[in-house]
């Protein structure tokens, strides 16, 4: 709530509730006991370090001597003559270059005490400098020394941050795709072929600005115990006994009717995770339906039709994002991520009515209009955690429009998700 609620709606009680949950200081959170002991340069350091790293929240009025908030949570004594918000904005504008524009909320006092919430977005204008434009600070994730002056290599990375991060992110994505292709070769399946593999659904989530490993790669072993979400079906599926690869793990699962059956022609599911925070899932969601068609002479003929159930997009995406939230919780990462959803090898595939799950004669015929469709969303992990359902609805609504599934409106998407996954 503190991370995503509109800043002007945050209340004194919201801060109390947040502290009662026991959130510890780290990359994106810092507490200060009172405002009078908070010098201008300290405010500037913290705000600039947040902007230079992953963004974050500074809460003034909370005692956290070892990084964890200590009750009672009452705030600091409110001085009605003090213009706190103007003071903070003035300090930030006068002490930080390039400019940063944090959100500031001074909570309405309770029993003469208040909290101040300063929320800073991850910045594209790094590096931000303080102390007469001479020093650059970044977050360390440690409560004892939350901000540290950046070394030369860190400054160099910050200067070219956006370009280098985007290039590195693309390299990570390419690495994941390469491991998928190599795994397919090992098991003699060719997902690039439209027959028998079609309607391949892919979801990928990755930090927007990846830099260093977020976890030792060996700690990804048995990670399914930490990131599995349960419902009608557990997700991610079949990740047990995953295979180690450089920087991460992968699992290619091929659905067979029996152990001796060849792999080619059977549906597959693929999961890949790496230490830099990339999470990739692929599944061919196409199916072949047999339909009986009556000929003019009265005879009947069975024909096979390629189809896909549009419902799978919303249900798989919901479970994937729920699992991804647990993944980033395990990694301790709460910065901005990029979500990418793709549908490939699907041109001309018939779409099954998502509310019925079968094709009926007389149904409106909806065919996938393109062989490669992509939808993307950038969002903070905390926002994703608190508003995941809204993110799913936004992406699925865009996908429905692209595919011409006009009857799958936002209202129906929400109802469908509620029916299958609850509130």
Q: Choose the final residue of a domain: 159, 182, 211.
A: 159
Domain-located, residue 1: no
**In a shared domain, residues 83 and 172:** no
**In a shared domain, residues 259 and 200:** yes
Q: What pTM did the predictor assign?
A: 0.72
Pick the more confident residue, 351 or 74: 74
**In a shared domain, residues 307 and 410:** yes
**In a shared domain, residues 230 and 123:** no
- The mean per-residue pLDDT over the stretch 308-316 comes to 88
pLDDT tens digits for 360-404? 444 557 888 998 999 999 988 878 988 999 999 999 999 999 998
User: What residues make up the domain containing 83?
Assistant: 7-159
Q: How many CA atoms lie within 13 A of 74 on its CB side?
A: 8
**In a shared domain, residues 143 and 167:** no
**In a shared domain, residues 248 and 148:** no
Over 90: is that where the pLDDT of 197 sits? no
Confidence category of residue 263, pLDDT binned at 50, 70, 90: very low
Helix (H) or strand (E) holding 303: strand 300-309
Buried b (16+ CB within 10 A) or exposed e, 130-164: beeeebbbbbebebeebbeebeeebbebbeebeeb
**In a shared domain, residues 142 and 79:** yes
CATH at 40:
3.30.950.30
pLDDT (0 to 100) of residue 193: 65
pLDDT tens digits for 51-72? 888 889 999 999 999 899 999 9
pLDDT tens digits for 152-192? 666 776 666 677 788 899 999 999 999 999 999 888 887 76
Over 50: is that where the pLDDT of 139 sits? yes
**In a shared domain, residues 166 and 154:** no
pLDDT (0 to 100) of residue 256: 57
pLDDT (0 to 100) of residue 91: 93
Q: How many domains does the chain have?
A: 2
Domain-located, residue 271: yes
**In a shared domain, residues 394 and 408:** yes
**In a shared domain, residues 181 and 143:** no
**In a shared domain, residues 169 and 129:** no
Q: Choose the final residue of a domain: 135, 159, 183.
A: 159
**In a shared domain, residues 90 and 130:** yes
pLDDT (0 to 100) of residue 295: 65
CA distance 366 to 359: 11
Domain-located, residue 2: no
């Amino acid at each position: 709530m503190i991370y995503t609620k509109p800043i002007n709606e945050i209340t004194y009680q919201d801060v109390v509730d947040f502290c009662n949950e026991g959130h510890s200081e780290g990359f994106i959170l810092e507490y200060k006991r009172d405002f009078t002991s908070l010098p201008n340069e300290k405010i500037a350091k913290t705000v600039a370090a947040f902007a230079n790293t992953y963004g974050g929240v500074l809460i003034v009025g909370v005692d956290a001597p070892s990084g964890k908030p200590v009750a009672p949570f009452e705030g600091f004594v409110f001085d009605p003559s003090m213009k706190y918000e103007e003071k903070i904005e003035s300090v930030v504008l006068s002490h930080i270059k390039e400019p940063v524009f944090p959100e500031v909320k001074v909570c309405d006092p309770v029993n003469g005490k208040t909290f101040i919430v300063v929320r800073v977005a991850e910045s594209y204008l790094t590096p931000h400098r303080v102390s007469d434009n001479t020093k650059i600070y970044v977050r360390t994730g440690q409560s004892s020394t939350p901000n540290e002056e950046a070394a030369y290599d860190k400054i160099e990375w910050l200067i070219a941050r956006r370009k280098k991060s985007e290039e590195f992110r693309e390299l990570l994505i390419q690495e994941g795709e390469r491991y998928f292709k190599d795994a397919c070769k090992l098991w003699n399946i060719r997902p690039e072929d439209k027959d028998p593999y079609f309607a391949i659904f892919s979801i990928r989530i990755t930090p927007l600005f990846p830099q260093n490993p977020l976890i030792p790669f060996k700690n990804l072993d048995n990670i399914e115990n930490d990131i599995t979400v349960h419902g009608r079906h557990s997700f991610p599926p079949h990740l047990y006994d995953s295979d180690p690869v450089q920087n991460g793990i992968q699992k290619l699962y091929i659905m067979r009717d029996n152990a001796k059956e060849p792999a080619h022609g059977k549906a597959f599911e693929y999961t890949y995770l790496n230490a830099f925070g990339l999470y990739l899932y692929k599944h061919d969601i196409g199916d072949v339906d047999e339909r009986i068609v009556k000929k003019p002479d009265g005879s009947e003929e069975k024909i096979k039709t390629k189809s896909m159930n549009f419902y799978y997009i919303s249900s798989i995406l919901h479970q994937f994002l729920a699992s991804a939230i647990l993944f980033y919780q395990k990694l301790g990462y709460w910065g901005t991520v990029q979500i990418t959803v793709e549908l490939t090898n699907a041109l001309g595939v018939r779409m099954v009515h998502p509310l019925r799950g079968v094709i009926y004669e007389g149904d409106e015929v909806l065919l996938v209009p393109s062989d490669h469709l992509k939808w993307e969303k950038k969002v903070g992990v905390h926002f994703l955690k608190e508003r995941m359902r809204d993110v799913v609805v936004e992406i699925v609504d865009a996908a429905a429009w692209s595919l011409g599934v006009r009857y799958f409106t936002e209202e129906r998407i929400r109802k469908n998700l509620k029916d299958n996954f609850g509130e």
